[in-house]
Structure 1
Amino acid sequence: MSIGEVLAHLRTEFPDTTISKLRFLEAEGLVDPQRTASGYRKYSWNDVARLRFVLTAQRDQYLPLRVIREQLERMENEPAPPARPTLVAVGTERASDPADSRIPREDVIERTGVTDALLDELEQIGLVTARPPGWYDADAVIIVEAVVGLTHYGLEVRHLRAFRAAADREVGLFTQLLAPLVRQSDPGARARAGETARDLQALSQRLHAALVRTGLRGELGR
């Protein structure tokens, strides 16, 4: 596959992935696609599986690339079970729900660089919620990390209320779309509802990113 085809495969599950990101992971030695005579990258399905493993570990476990590389090396050196490729199952099975994570407050502060005061403010406006006795889930860490990045560019906490309100409106809309599945008594309906919710989230993220890019291009005169 070409790098563009690989990107199309991965963006369903990892909508923020870009060609630059794939090239960076290659430069870091996490994937090594073959090259054609003219220098174009050609990826195998095993390369795609490696990339899924890396992106999943970054998203769900926040592991540094050094640790991910070590894990991949250990997996490659272990003898594979009969008739089961080493990497095929890795990353194709969806990771556990981020809501199941239990991350203590001090770890959130260490990972994101957020201050105690800012974290308290984010809780007060409902952007993140701590569960007794002070645990946070993986999504809360992602939110805090994004907020810290935005504040570095001058965004203030009061501006974040608009993000919360927009997310709540979107949740309300998607809840209506999911309601027919949720009401079904079919045992597989909950699984289908979960998969549909993930698809809606991915499509929403792509739409939002494209709209913001388009708007900024207009502002920048491009």
Structure 2
Amino acid sequence: MPDILIVEDEPSIADNITYALSTEGYNAHWRASGGEGLAVLEAGGIDLVILDVGLPDINGFDLAKEIRKRFEVPLIFVTARNSEIDRVVGLEIGGDDYVVKPFSPRELTARVRAVLRRTAGRTVPAQPAASLPGCPFVVDEARYIISFQGSPLELSRYEYRLLRVLVLNQGRVYSREQLMEKVWDEPDMSLERTVDTHIKTLRQKLRAFSPGEEWIVTHRGVGYSLKDPS
């Protein structure tokens, strides 16, 4: 059965989650701080992370960013923050689900099953860093990082996936629908303008390193491609 890491500093909540997961047959591993959680992930074997936002040593959103840089593992936030902006931030930085406290342990286990089912097969064996001749981008799949002109980019999960597709298929034009299918976990539930929003943020990040040069090309009425330097 899958191994679930619970990063939660409140023992009573962690106990309830651990019990609920155990009764469903999952192997639950509880850690009370972000640093301890990262140590477990580094040891390997974790199939999903349940992450509290209010941790004693690090903000859960910041920890999620670090996890996304280094690991390809599904992640569910559990938090008392129920504002729309917190939900959006949590999902944008790489959360697969967002559960607000107080919650039913049965509901949480159902969400765990749904996320594991949805993300099954998403994790791939680590590959060496890859790029194409003359391309200033380097994709390091083992570390979940894309570098531009020698500098690692600060990317959200979907920004990473989107740019990876364009970099490794340099010059090829993808429609928004094709990018949705390749990048998003639930393309049918997402809007195509989401692609435009992520392209916009990617362009802003690339301009910080290369002002005045557009690496992502818009093909009107068709979609996007990465500029071919040749």
TM > 0.5 fold call: no
TM-score by length of 2: 0.26
Which structure is higher in strand share?
2
Q: Give the greater-gyration-radius structure (CA).
A: 1
Which structure is higher in helix share?
1
Query: Which structure exhibits the higher relative contact order, with contacts defined as CA atoms closer than 8 Å and separated by 6 or more residues?
Result: 1
